[in-house]
Homo-oligomer: A and B are copies of this chain.
């Protein structure tokens, strides 16, 4: 991914920010779902939809993710309006996450991608192995 996001401040107008890329929306989308954990988080939340999941439960369902990354991923998703965050002012506060309608609508094409990945990735790996076998040195 190239375009900076979380801390914002891209496209500063003073600099000769060349804006070469004409804001291709597909690029922007891939910059989001292409980050390591985003698509997995969306999937896990989609499985629970329209229900909610709490932070710790999400962590449990996404093996290998750290608190920091889960937190950052969720913040991105909330910021993009794909996920809604609801805080119950109990103590300790309980935070609930769920997909918004927008997030659910993304889940559709995303799951199509997942299906493609599951059926065709083995073939891609085969190709890679072939490429490795010839001229590995």
Contact = CB atoms under 8 A, between A and B. Distances in A.
Interface string A98-137: 0000100110111011111110110110111001100000
A113 B26 contact: yes
B102 A63 contact: no
Total identical chains: 2
Contacts of A108: 112, 116
Contacts of A81: 123-124, 126-127
A29 B113 contact: yes
A36 interface: yes
Contacts of A92: none
Contacts of A132: 8
A123 B128 CA distance: 38
